[in-house]
A and B are shown apart, each in its own frame.
Chain A
Amino acid sequence: MKQRIVLDLTELTPNAMGSASLTWWGTLAFMLIEGTGFVMMIAVYLYLASLAPAWPPDSPPPDLGPGLWVTLILLVSVVPNILVSRWAGRGDLRRVRIGLVIMTLLGAVALVPRIYEFPAMHVMWDSNAYGSVVWTLLGLHTTHILTDLMDTVVLCALMFTRRGDNPRRFGDVQDNALYWNFVVLAWLPILACLYGVPRQ
């Protein structure tokens, strides 16, 4: 077909940031998938709880200690996370580097009380259905922390190379921060479920 130029894109920005960038939307779509997964798993938890004569069936409710530590660390991590995202938006390489190191450390530190959170449930995964769903919920969320931690580590390493100073990389940092916020946010309903429902 013959063509006739009716629109000139020469001046259009090559730096798509935020909602103009494809990866931002991709991250959102993946969050929708993961979020649906969490919702389904919580639904499984509540479904099994609704069938059981007692919940937990034959163990005390989980100890709050490690869970609260995890929550505290996750909530605290949101502050540097938002700052990193803001610095990335400004293209401040030095601060982004520092922020990513902090986020790496916080992510790793959150895993420490998480290790103690599993035994604090007072049930093994193969004891009964309660144990199965509790361990799976915790495991699912831990996988998300691990995945995003991996991503942060790689991104952090990348920002210390010569390829780091690039608006694209800053965009990646923002998307990574967005995803970490999601991981933190997703934890709250799980927390309410794991610790609240057995105390009803």
Chain B
Amino acid sequence: MSSDARPRGLRDHQLDDAAGAEALERTWRTPSGWRGFFTTVDHKIIGRRYIVTAFIFLALGGILGLVMRLQLAWPEARYLDPDLYNQIFTMHGSNMMFLFAVPVMEAMGVYLVPLMVGTRNIAFPRLNAFSYWIYLAGGLLLWISFALGMAPDVGWFAYVPLSGPQYGAGKRADIWAQMITFTELSALAVAVEIVVTVLKQRAPGMSLDRMPLFVWTMLVTAFVIILAMPAIMIASTSLILDRLVGTHFFNPAEGGDVLLWQHLFWFFGHPEVYIIFLPAVGMISTILATFSRRPVFGYEPMVLALVGTALLAFGLWVHHMFTTGLPRVAEGFFTASSMAIAVPSGLQIFCWIVTLWYGRPVYRTPLLYVLAFFFTFIIGGMTGVMVASVPLDTQLHDTYFVVAHFHYVLIGGAVFPLLGAVHYWFPKITGRMPSERLGRWSVALTFIGFNLTFFPMHLLGLQGMTRRIYTYQAEMGWGGLNLFVSLSALVLAAGFLVFFVNLGRAARHGEPAGDNPWGAPTLEWATASPPPPYNFAMIPVVRSAHPLWDDEEVLPVASGLRVDRRELLVTRVTDARPEARESSPRNSIWPFWSAVATTIMLISSIFTPWAVVWGAVPIAIALTFWFWPRGMPEEES
């Protein structure tokens, strides 16, 4: 039966289960081969791509970390010259923050949020496809420039005047600034999609207070992205303008200001930490609930703490500037606000511990990662309180103490939960179970390797070892600890290797997972593993915060959506009452071409400002094709 022969407007309840699934499959599927590869708008395919790409960048950034540890293992080592070392530490930081941490967290949202709220695709799926290509282009720009020996060498923070026209020679700082444009563009696009998906596409009955905590964290994160990223876009654009057309934003000789850069950068840069950490909070909550077999204690305080953290995140940026000589009043205020962030974080941790206290913990790999999180992240939180104190910060700032601190917060606080989360959702994404034995090895190795690598750095910092130095003299007495750190880094790397090997093997040879292998309560486990292109044959109807624990056998669903076009359900923001049946765009090649056109414009504008003018023409053409209607059923009303 060809689709033309079908009556237009066919609804799901008019077909039996098998025929309905077949019709939906036909409507929603992504064609195989290259055409599908470039045209797909399926949030699962794009999300998976995003996750895999981000983990490739993680591995590359990790290798850079090992190379730096090789150079620092001995005093006065000469494996790397200072120029290469500066490129490598800049690449490591920029790569980890902009190409791994933020994208991977958003990628988890891209894959999971539509499933968790019970809809069929993310809002603005073509924008989603576009955002991935733009992200990929930004990553390639950075890494190709590294391969060509012209990578940025000004640090991931690119402080002026070092990165400015006078001291930043060549195109290195421009490449850094434009890489920012790429990644922020993609991050902002995904943030918009997530906000709209969460607010308007939740399954009927999933009122705000029944939303899974992970969805809450992604919603709050998306808002933080929307409010924080414009600052860095403006900073990087001003930097490019200073370098390319001779503006004077950061030139004190002509009325500009060096610290303006730092204000703009950290107004984005500190919320950035929470953009990475908040999704991890959602992952921890999800894993804890599933593996202690009870809901996370204190849903409302958890949500309030989330929102509180997000608000406070915008009042902390000056604590990165405590040694710049700002007025005392400002320092006092920002000390207090920086310390205050410990309150919502503490509240969340207490709620989690209470959850475990009355729960029945099942010690599987994801939960073990969460336990590793508790141990390390709280150390990071404590040292965070120390660097929040202005006087202590004058000794700790820009030393290895801070390097230790933020790796404890970012790896302990975000990467451990992320690894646990990938392990946890891997069966859903691939339909296969990872090995528990290898999983435990990976937890043990990363946990031990991490702490052995980074704890000694606190001591090095106190002994006066500053950051971003490519070598140090033997008489400083730092050699022993540095060698120890470098050797421990190999253990940490081995942990990541086991993690990758485990998942790589499981993707091909793992045991079939079934729909809900962990006995989890949220909607993504109500569909097949991996989910079909349309996610749910019928949209689930939600009656509690833990639908699959309350309706264990039979899923209540809504019927009446069309199967002959991509259709999903729009519901009200607060109580998720159905408002409309909305169509969802089909596959299209134009997001890809738009991304290509945007890439050409952005990269050319490093070399000539006129690229912004002529480069806009192909972008406008591609966007017109993107949005031009073609008489598909999706456009019917």
Contact = CB atoms under 8 A, between A and B. Distances in A.
Interface string B514-536: 01000000000011000000000
Contact of B637 (A57, A128, A133, A166): A166
Given A1-B515, A13-B580, A15-B580, A158 B628 contact: yes
A129 B248 contact: yes
Given A5-B13, A33-B226, A41-B234, A15 B557 contact: no
Given A1-B515, A40-B230, A132 B526 contact: no
A5, A7, A33, A47 pick with most chain B CB within 10 angstroms = A7
Contacts of A40: 230-231, 234, 264, 267
Interface in A41-83: 41, 44, 47-48, 51-52, 57
A150 B188 CA distance: 22
Nearest to A54: B255
Q: How large is the interface on A (under 10, 10 to 19, 20 to 34, 35 or more residues)?
A: 35 or more
B204, B227, B234, B578 pick with most chain A CB within 10 angstroms = B234
A22 B254 contact: no
Interface string B612-637: 00000000100010011101000111
B248 A132 contact: yes
A132 B247 contact: yes
Nearest to B238: A136
B629 A4 contact: no
B573 to A, nearest CB: 8
Q: How large is the interface on B (under 10, 10 to 19, 20 to 34, 35 or more residues)?
A: 35 or more
A34 B554 CA distance: 45
Contacts, number: 196
B13, B233, B629 pick with most chain A CB within 10 angstroms = B629
B516 to A, nearest CB: 8
Interface in B575-590: 578-583
Contacts of B558: 5-9
A128 B201 CA distance: 49
A13 B628 CA distance: 23
A15 B561 contact: no
B635 A129 contact: no
A48 B255 CA distance: 7
Contacts of B230: 33-34, 36-37, 40
Contact of A2 (B248, B267, B555): B555
Contacts of B11: 10
Interface stretch (A24-32, A103-111, A178-186, A192-200): A24-32
Interface stretch (B87-95, B191-199, B434-442): B191-199
A89 interface: no
Nearest to A157: B624
B582 A21 contact: yes
B554 A129 contact: no
Contacts of B394: none
Given A1-B554, A13-B581, A26-B123, 18 more contacts: A1-B515, A3-B554, A6-B556, A7-B558, A10-B559, A14-B636, A21-B570, A26-B196, A30-B192, A32-B227, A33-B226, A36-B227, A36-B230, A40-B234, A132-B249, A136-B238, A154-B624, A163-B629
Interface of B: 11, 13, 123-124, 188, 191-192, 195-196, 199-201, 204, 226-227, 229-231, 233-234, 237-238, 241-242, 245-249, 251, 254-257, 260, 263-264, 267, 515, 526-527, 537-539, 541, 553-561, 567, 569-570, 578-583, 620, 624, 627-629, 631, 635-637
